[in-house]
């Protein structure tokens, strides 16, 4: 198998785990660079606490809202806060109803909406990591997905002898949009991107809400966790929401930490960042590590270098972690002909399209996480490849920061998050707020 085919075969292998996915509302997106999960991330003498820690971090990781595409690109908006705005901001419309008496339809929407709101508010849990912190849990299956010794890991190999017709459902067009399998020796980030890495400090219960630029503000007043109210700070049609979710993380990447491994460009502008070793991120919680790795890889300006060998074999253990949100109820989506969203236009949340034309703020959500471990790459490595491998942080989407050569095999035993299965949301709302856009 040559280097150009490899990533498409990896993608198609995971897609085959979801029969009919190409004709469904689901798609697969890879992280721009895998994030390593350290075995010590969730260590605790109490196994129950270890699972609770892992659940909290999984909840934060899967609260990111991605774009629709082959790479998992995220902003600062949170699934939980946009969903809250959707369910609380739905208002009845009779535009699609011919019957003169609409009482039963109004009652039905009220019941569905009330149940969704109640389930959402009942779902809030106390943080194990941050005093007074709260979060909305996402349960992973298998439950101990972070355990490298778990029996759920499965082995997969891709080799020159692979039957491409079986492993690749459709012939490659060379235009998959996947990140090519090239050496990534460093991450070079602009000054503007460096500022974006500075996440807000963890918030305690009752902390005043802040705005996130790519989320939405849906209704005249939203309740936070303590029942306080905040007036809208944006005009209709803007893509903003006031943040309700209280998520936890370790301290953000500080100037002192950045200084340890990150060097400014010699002739570059102030604030530019050059990172050649991701081990500096190990002090962070997994969710924060994922966010920073994703953001830095998205904004990377450093050129990648081609692999000298074109014959590869690859193998890894993999696990697909299914995500369940007990506070999330899509029943309201099924009754979307009965409601509009306060102060918003039609299709504000989603156009329903499974492509990059969908500019809704709730266009898709992650439904499964893809993990690998014991990554092994074998090739007829050139001397230049071997030198590149020693100093690179990535080979395509794969994190090779702590890899080593064992004979002719480049090996990274660590667990890493490489991708997500996502579901596209239906077109909603179907009508605009008639009081503003009528």
Ranking 64-73, 222-231, 359-368, 425-434 by mean pLDDT, the lowest is: 222-231
Looking at the predicted structure, is the pLDDT value of residue 241 above 90? Answer: no
Structural contact between residues 366 and 28, judged by C-beta atoms closer than 8 angstroms: no
- B/e letters for 143-156, b = 16+ CB within 10 Å, e = fewer, are eebbbeeeeebeee
Structural contact between residues 85 and 157, judged by C-beta atoms closer than 8 angstroms: no
pLDDT at 132: 79
Structural contact between residues 437 and 425, judged by C-beta atoms closer than 8 angstroms: no
- Taking only the tens place, the pLDDT of each residue in 57-115 is 999 999 999 999 999 999 889 999 999 999 999 999 999 999 999 999 999 999 999 99
Q: Angle formed by the axes of helices 286-298 and 47-61, to 10°?
A: 30
SS3 295: helix
pLDDT at 103: 97
User: Average pLDDT, stretch 243-267?
Assistant: 41
Average pLDDT, the chain: 81
Q: Map tokens 């990533």 to a residue.
A: 7
Short-list 386, 380, 382, CA closest to 405: 386
CA atoms of 152 and 205, how far apart (whole Å): 37
CA atoms of 353 and 297, how far apart (whole Å): 27
User: Average pLDDT, stretch 108-123?
Assistant: 98
CA atoms of 111 and 90, how far apart (whole Å): 12
DSSP 34: E
Ranking 32-46, 65-79, 221-235, 353-367 by mean pLDDT, the lowest is: 221-235
Write down the domain spans for the chain: 3-437
- Taking only the tens place, the pLDDT of each residue in 181-226 is 999 988 777 756 656 555 544 444 443 332 323 333 222 222 222 2
User: Given the DSSP bridges, would you call strands 222-223 and 404-406 parallel, antiparallel or unpaired?
Assistant: unpaired
Short-list 254, 277, 367, 272, CA closest to 320: 367
Structural contact between residues 430 and 350, judged by C-beta atoms closer than 8 angstroms: no
SS3 257: helix
Q: Map tokens 């856009």 to a residue.
A: 437
């Amino acid at each position: 198998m040559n280097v150009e085919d490899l990533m498409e075969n990896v993608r198609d292998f995971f897609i085959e785990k979801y029969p009919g996915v190409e004709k469904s509302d689901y798609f697969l997106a890879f992280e721009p660079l895998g994030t390593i999960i350290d075995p010590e991330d969730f260590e605790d003498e109490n196994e129950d606490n270890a699972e609770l820690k892992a659940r909290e971090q999984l909840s934060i990781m899967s609260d990111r809202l991605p774009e629709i595409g082959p790479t998992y690109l995220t902003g600062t908006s949170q699934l939980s806060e946009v969903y809250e705005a959707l369910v609380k901001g739905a208002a009845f419309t009779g535009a699609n109803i011919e019957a003169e008496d609409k009482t039963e339809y109004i009652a039905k929407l009220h019941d569905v909406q009330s149940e969704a709101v109640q389930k959402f508010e009942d779902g809030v849990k106390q943080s194990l990591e941050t005093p007074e912190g709260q979060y909305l849990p996402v349960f992973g299956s298998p439950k101990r997905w972070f355990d490298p010794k778990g029996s759920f890991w499965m082995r997969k190999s891709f080799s020159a002898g692979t039957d491409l017709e079986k492993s690749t459902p459709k012939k490659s067009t060379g235009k998959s949009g996947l990140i090519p399998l090239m050496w990534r020796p460093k991450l070079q980030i602009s000054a503007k991107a460096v500022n974006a890495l500075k996440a807000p400090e963890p918030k305690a219960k009752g902390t005043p809400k802040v705005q996130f630029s790519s989320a939405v503000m849906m209704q005249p007043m939203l309740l936070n966790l303590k029942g306080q109210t905040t007036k809208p700070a944006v005009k209709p049609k803007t893509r903003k929401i006031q943040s309700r979710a209280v998520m936890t993380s370790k301290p953000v990447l500080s100037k002192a930490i950045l200084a340890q491994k990150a060097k400014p460009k010699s002739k570059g502008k102030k604030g530019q960042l050059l990172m050649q070793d991701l081990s500096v991120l190990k002090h962070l919680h997994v969710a924060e590590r994922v966010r920073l790795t994703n953001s830095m890889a998205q904004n990377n300006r450093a050129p990648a270098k081609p692999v000298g060998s074109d014959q590869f074999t690859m193998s890894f253990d993999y696990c697909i972690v299914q995500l369940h949100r007990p506070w999330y109820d899509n029943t309201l989506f099924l009754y979307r002909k009965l409601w509009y969203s306060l102060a918003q236009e039609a299709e504000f949340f989603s156009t329903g399209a499974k492509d990059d034309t969908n500019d809704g703020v709730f266009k898709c959500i992650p439904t499964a996480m893809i993990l690998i471990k014991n990554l092994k790459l074998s090739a007829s490595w050139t001397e230049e490849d071997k030198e590149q491998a020693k100093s690179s942080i990535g080979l395509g989407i794969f994190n090779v920061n702590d890899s080593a050569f064992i004979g002719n095999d480049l090996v990274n035993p660590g667990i890493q998050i490489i991708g997500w299965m996502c579901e596209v949301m239906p077109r909603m709302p179907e009508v605009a707020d008639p009081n503003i856009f009528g």
